[in-house]
Structure 1
Amino acid sequence: MSDVIISGGGLVGLAFAAALDSAGLSCIVVDPADPEARLTGAFDGRTSALSSSSKRMFDTLGISAHFPEPGNPIAKIQVADGLAPGGLVFDSEGEGEPLGWMHENRHLRIALLERAKAGKNIDLRFGRKSAETVRDEQGVRMTLDNGDTIAAPLMVAAEGRNSPTRDAAGIRVARWKYDHAAIVSTLVHEQPHGDIAYEIFYPAGPFALLPMTDGADGRHRSAIVWSVSSADAPGLLKLDDEGFAAEAEAAMGGFLGKIEMIAPRSSYPLGFHHTVRMTDTRLAMIGDAAHGIHPIAGQGVNLGYRDAAALAEVLVDGARLGLDLGDAALLDRYEKWRSLDTLMVAMATDSLTRLYGIPGKPASAVRRFGMALIDRIGPVKQRLMDEARGTSGDLPLLLRGLPI
């Protein structure tokens, strides 16, 4: 008997397991994948931005201590409407911490897995999946595909966008697809990036350039997340590295000098989904199981870490009061804490996607005027910086850098 069964051992599921472990609550992590298979081999080009609040959580839980190498700080974010002059700059100088940190996904997985293996209260069941799960008034009972039976008062789904637990529970999901595909990779460039992230908006989609640590050869690296129309994505993927680098350099305006691709390119369709609720009988959902947004603001995985921190705090408070961890009142507290924040961020990113997708010079002029106005209004600009950092709203203790 464990305190929590976590279905899903990805980036968010393992962070949640570490949060429970740090407070003395036990959990069993069930995931059909073999995590070791995703830790070997060359860098595949996939990266993630940790907001500064997520980094505080990682530091507090001891996850950061397992990073193979430190991430690259994001000191500034420069936003532009195409290559037109003007724009908006978010600068963390004098703020005490960067706006975020860039990490290779494989390094995030290594750190999270090593922290999970070190956890005294974490039982890892990788390579296993549920053959049958029962959730009722008595608790949660799961029979694994190897015949093992596990039980807990609560199940947490951290299974990603296609969560089978969410679907089996009959939880409705609002969803739609954008006519965009995201192409992700990593490149090297002549000029140093200066720890600056660039977001260049085009009608077909944003081009994000994110600062990475220099390579072992000393060359300057940046990750790209390039949202293009679904019709154009196959053609860009078919280009050889030199051809794709030329297209990317043109989209960047060449301000970092000559570039060269150093990692494979991958692509995925972009969409929006948001569940009508984040809980069910003895069930809570975190991360992409509950919500998925456009990568326009780089907040996707960070929303999941906010879910994990909030749910862990609710459960630890409940345990200290001697409550059943699957109690509906506890789950209702989590639902109220997280549902509004996730919805607001989701709708904000959707609105930005649609706003910057309007073609034409008049629309571009209006966007540039709006950015210039925000740049002059201190409180509005600070609020947007807080959103980028993940430090707005009612923050869980872990996101403030405090133990639960």
Structure 2
Amino acid sequence: MDNPAKPTILRVMTPDSDIIIVGGGLNGPALALALAQTGQRVTVIDTLPAATRKDADFDGRGYALALTSQRLLSAIDVWPLVADKAQPMLEITVTDGHAGSGSSPLFLHFDHAEIEEGPMGYMVEDRHLRPAFLDAMQAAPLITQINGKTVVDQSVGPTGAMVTLDDGKTISGRLLVGSDGRNSGTARRAGIKRTGWDYGQTALVCAIAHEKPHHGIAHQFFMPPGPLAILPLTGNRSSIVWSERTETALWINTLDDAGYMAELRPRFGDFLGELELAGRRFTYPLNLTIANSFIAERLALVGDAAHGVHPIAGQGLNAGLRDVAALAETVTLAARRGEDIGAQTALRQYQQWRRFDTATLALATDTFNRLFSNDNPLLRLGRDLGLGLVNAMPGLRRSFIREAAGLTGDLPRLLQGKAI
């Protein structure tokens, strides 16, 4: 049952855990591992069984991990589990054009050699990243995993929070964290409303095997219906995130593999030679949804539960891991000062740390999508000139590269690759 912000007197004097995390996708486990390293007891609850989340066919996405996200994974000991399956992103090209007619001669090119820190980021497939998180949690004695159970109710009191599972079991903690996606039940039960809109676009996602090597170069090709991202994976393979108007995308997804590839090839081009599908196809509706507050009484939201943005810049998971790093540091420092980790003082610090960065990202992705996902000739001329101008200015281009690598702003310690 849903009863917003319902207070209660907790029946358990000693909580089962310090932190309860609802949602076992990627951000939830990352937060659990970060907190467990500092001595916090954590319970992670997920609706799906672990076997489903470990299935190689569960989610076809590949994630563009910024350099700072890679540092966080290294700090929580997950990176060694996926390092040999990760593809460094050495260059990024951004172009504008029409399917089948090539791109504009004006473009934007980023090269990791222009910064000192190394690759701008890494591509890691969900089928590798998710099992690594599950295995790491399994090896952490301070983390309790509850799989295949749904939270149906939650309540808060002066000293803690409690959730009720669909089997009637209750779990208590000092702090409740919602990491349960864009339709977060945790946020809804706390009475947190959301702001956002649908883009009328759907992402077609798959992996492609190609004849020629990609050389670690990621491509973002803007077309009137939506952008096409070609992201390098290990070997001669790339991850495709192909945004189309929803009606078109759903029609394309009904085609057999040959028909699907016939639609993709004119958009993709021939610069990587012959193409073929490498695995299953997936679709994801695209929207913007931002929680009006990232916190409530004894509650914090992270990842898509706090903010879901357009994948145009591949920053969704990176933004979630920034939440993880900020919340883990805020909670840990509060505990070391002897403070209540679920008190509003600590939670307000977390929200202040993350709110502006999130709003900026949402505005940027929304603006870029609206600017590029159209065929207005004046806008096309302006944006092409803009790409060419940025590309011709080394200082400005370098600042964009550092932004893509996640190296700007007030970075929590985990994003610097340091222990809290």
Length-normalised TM-score, structure 1: 0.95
Match of 1:172 in 2: 193
Counterpart in the other structure of 1:217: none
* 2:49 matches 1:34: yes
Residue of 337, 360, 364 corresponding to 1:348: 364
- What is the deviation of 1:54? 0.5
| Amino acid in structure 2 at the alignment position of 1:200 | F
Question: Does residue 118 of structure 1 match 2:118?
Answer: no
2:78 corresponds to which of 43, 57, 63? 63
Aligned residues: 399
Q: CA deviation at 1:138?
A: 2.5
User: Residue 406 of structure 2: which of 378, 390, 397 is its match?
Assistant: 390
C-alpha deviation, 1:49, in angstroms: 1.3
1:88 is matched with which residue: 91, 104, 108? 108
- Of the three residues 332, 338, 341, the one matched with 1:325 is 341
Deviation at 1:266, TM superposition (A): 1.3
CA gap 1:78/1:68 in 2 versus in 1, 3 angstroms: closer
Residue identity opposite 2:411 in structure 1: L
Instruction: Report deviation, 1:175.
Output: 1.2
- In the alignment, which of 147, 156, 159 is matched to residue 138 of structure 1? 159
How do residues 125-274 of structure 1 correspond to structure 2 at under 5 angstroms? Answer: 125-214=146-235, 220-274=236-290
AA partner of residue 79 (structure 1)? V
Q: Which moved more, 1:260-269 or 1:200-209?
A: 260-269
Cα 1:45–1:138 change in 2 (3 A) is closer
Change (3 A) 1:92 1:350: same
Match among 304, 313, 319 for residue 288 of structure 1: 304
Structure 2 spans left out of the alignment, 5+ residues: 1-14, 98-102
1:23 aligns with 2:38: yes
Q: Distance in 1 between matches of 2:159 and 2:247?
A: 51
* CA-to-aligned-CA distance 1:33-61 (integer Å, 9 cap, x gap): 11212323558632111111100000111
The aligned amino acid for 2:88 is P
Alpha-carbon separation, structure 1, partners of 2:395 and 2:256: 46
**Residue 100 of structure 1 pairs with residue 130 of structure 2:** no
1:204–1:357 contact (8 Å) kept in structure 2: yes
- What one-letter code is carried by the residue in structure 2 that aligns with 1:390? G
Structure 1 unaligned regions, length at least 5: 215-219
Letter of the structure 1 residue corresponding to residue 52 of structure 2: A
Secondary structure of 2:419's aligned partner: coil
- Mapped to 2, the partners of 1:284 and 1:149 lie a distance apart of 19
Show CA shifts across 1:68-99 (max 9, x none).
84211110110001212220001102533211
Return the TM-score normalized by structure 2: 0.92
Q: 2 CA distance for matches of 1:392 and 1:374?
A: 18
Tell me, in whole angstroms, the C-alpha distance in 1 between the residues paired with 2:343 and 2:251. 52
Q: Partners of 1:108 and 1:344 in 2: how far apart?
A: 27
Distance, in Å, in 1 between the alignment partners of 2:152 and 2:191 is 18
CA offsets per residue over residues 145-197 of structure 1, 9 Å max, x none?
Answer: 33433221110000001101111111121110002110000111111101000
% identity of equivalent residues = 40
